[in-house]
Chains A and B, each alone.
Chain A
Amino acid sequence: MFVTYLRRELAGRRKQTAIVAIGMALAIALVIIVNAVSSGVQLAQSTVLASVYGVGTDITVSQTPAAPTEGEAGTGGPQNFDFGADAGATTDGTTTVSQSRLSVDRGTTAFDAIALDTASGIDNVSAAAATLSLSNTTFDGALPERSTTDTGTAPTGDDAAVGGTPPSGGPDGAGGSSFSVDSFTVLGLDPADDAVGPLSAVSLTDGRSLESADAGTNVAVLDASYATTAELVVGDTVAIAGTDFTVVGLVTASSADAATASNVYIPLDVAQALSGLTDQVTDIYVQAASSTDIEQIQADVEGALPDATVQTQSDLASSVSGSLSSASDLVKNLGLWLSLIVLAAAFLIAILFTISGVTRRTREFGTLKAIGWSNGRIVRQVAGESLVQGLIGGVVGIAVGLAGILVINLVAPTLTAGAATADPASALGGPGGGFGQATVEAATSDIVLQVPVTLSVILIAVGLAVLGGLLAGAIGGWRASRLSPSEALRSIA
């Protein structure tokens, strides 16, 4: 009887069934799409982060930059290139000077490498690696030979009469000067350690990666796209701080569309020696034994290294900028609220229609009670109808939602993401923002949004459909249970 009556009611009152089901379907489709897009965006974010920070990195530790003290090499500050009187080589009246400097990025502070041991010693840390993030700036200049412009004492009257010697020399041959500044990022890392850190997330495209034996030697691994720009291949040499390094390998981000953390990778000890930052590092990458340990580790590291900025993956996610982060915000805010509102509206529609249905069927339920139907049987009937309406809505909603996801995946919108390369603190608006931002946001990548369909999303949708149906059914059933059997005798108005 239950099934027959249920079937007849749903088929006999198609309009009501359709309205409740459509409301529910819309809400559930929206929940599915928002949920799926949200995990798609998260996926994209972790792709970007993984390429920059390394797959296994749960926590990064950097130093909060302090005001630089005079002559401190460990703090990125203004760069001076000083040339002595006899600097450079002079040919044909032109002196060319060149100086290469390896120093810490603006907004980045190097700190004692002992912090790595501190971090490694913390409970539940499974791996930790330290890197020194530097930038190599080469100043090239060409200026007129000093002897031609600076011939000695004041010009004599004769000289003045003939108008003096016209300026000559210099790159333009007329006493002018030309300067160029070229810079690229250099990351010093422990060549023995590839489990955690920036190089753990890259794939080798040519040559080899850094190995333990490379410690102390002048070898470099290059980001493949940088190598292309700089016209370098494996076997070439690249000059860092005036020292020639042999290019042994090229790497690219594991995901095709993201850049790697740095342009050039060299052994940590060599980087420290060349930059004069002996036993100094700028970042420590920490891998937790389990994701449940992250909070504890973060707290412990903060305790052990009070001057450090400690960031977890979720903090890092906020350092992803560009349209990817706008999409993330949009999904998180608008999408979440929109789906909640539509869901609430759908529940309300289901409840109101069920109540009005029960009111309309007052005499029907009164009659059933008058012929001996118990309250329980009537509540079951009403709840069953609402539940099935909800489920129909759920099934339609899942279909519409999946279709929506399919459309998004077919359209495959491209999002641009920027992630802080060396110092996440900078991108978070710390010191080094503004001017420093340009170098910090070097790793910009285009990510094609791919929206995954997960079983949990489907289960959530089914759960919501059941919940909505039961809620409406419970309220409608409660109303029906309060009807008196004598309603059956009420004269038909």
Chain B
Amino acid sequence: MYELTNVTKKYDQGKRSVTALNKVTLSIPDGQMVAIQGPTGGGKSTLLQMLGALDRPSEGTVQLGSSDLSKLGQGPLGEIRAREVGFVFQGFNLIPTLTAQENVETALAPLGVSTPDRTSRAAAALESVGLGERGSHLPAELSGGQQQRVAIARALVKEPAVLLADEPTGNLDEQTRDEIMDLLEGLWRAKGLTLIVVTHDSAVARRAQRRLVIRNGVVREVA
């Protein structure tokens, strides 16, 4: 359960200050699938950073469960990222020198999971995204869609409560886009996740239970 109250985020861009989020008040119940749309520079990624404990708001509070993310230091925020939040990025963001299996394992490294456990959990996560056979491949040896599947396995292997995806299909062709969205939707249903997807694509957004539009840092619900 997310509870955002009057969240404002300002960035200093040289001499001027940009308000990326302007007094956003928002509540997202557990298990909801939310699509966030809006023009480029509207504040979508910034909102996702607030939700994902990557950064703290300039003003306002971000409540996730019992924690107020706006009050936590870097250490505890890191802990929350490690345990409760899964992230999927537009550019996949896999470590190029690590194999698919090892990339998935990086998500378990901060959790103190034993090596055999880590190996089997990562293998299972790869299996669940349909890449059971590709564990030993480097990212460069995989297609875009396969790389994004590895990234999804990495996000979900720690069994987080929340999955945040920033334009996860932005770099993919239409058919692969649908495959990835099918996968995300399936996992959301199967695991009872809170799934928040930032997208430019209305076809993607239409799959969500709830749609939000951010423009100039202001959030508006779409009926």
Contact = CB atoms under 8 A, between A and B. Distances in A.
B166 A371 contact: no
A114 B98 CA distance: 83
Contact of A370 (B87, B91, B98, B118): B87
B220 interface: no
Interface of B: 45, 48-49, 52, 54-55, 74-75, 78-79, 81-83, 86-87, 89-91, 93, 95-99, 102, 105-107, 109-111, 118, 154-155, 158, 166
A92 to B, nearest CB: 105
Q: Top 5 closest A-B pairs, CB basis?
A: A372-B82, A12-B97, A367-B93, A8-B97, A1-B109
A373 B54 contact: no
A489 B98 contact: no
Given A1-B106, A371-B82, 19 more contacts: A8-B95, A8-B99, A9-B97, A368-B106, A369-B78, A372-B79, A372-B83, A372-B110, A372-B158, A373-B82, A374-B75, A374-B78, A374-B110, A375-B74, A375-B78, A377-B109, A485-B81, A486-B55, A492-B90
Interface of chain A: mostly helix, strand, loop or mixed: helix
A12 B107 contact: no
Contacts of A1: 102, 105-106, 109, 118
Interface in A474-493: 484-486, 488-489, 491-492
Interface centre among B45, B52, B79, B95 (most CB of A within 10 A): B95
A1 B95 CA distance: 13
A372 B81 CA distance: 5
Interface size class of A (residues with CB under 8 A): 20 to 34
Contact of A372 (B45, B78, B96): B78
Contacts of A8: 95, 97-99, 102
Contacts of B166: 489
Contact of B97 (A13, A370, A375, A485): A13
A368 B118 CA distance: 17
B102 A4 contact: yes
A4 B98 contact: yes
Contacts of B99: 8
A363 interface: yes
A488 B110 contact: no
A438 interface: no
B91 A363 contact: yes
Nearest to B155: A371
A409 B79 CA distance: 60
B107 A489 contact: no
A5 interface: yes
Interface of A: 1, 4-5, 8-9, 11-13, 363-364, 367-375, 377, 484-486, 488-489, 491-492
Contacts of B83: 372
Contacts of A492: 90-91
A367 B97 CA distance: 14
Interface centre among B52, B97, B155, B158 (most CB of A within 10 A): B97
A373 B110 CA distance: 6
B106 A373 contact: yes
A488 B93 contact: yes
A488 B54 contact: yes
A258 to B, nearest CB: 60
9 contacts: A1-B106, A5-B98, A364-B95, A368-B106, A370-B54, A372-B158, A374-B78, A491-B90, A491-B91
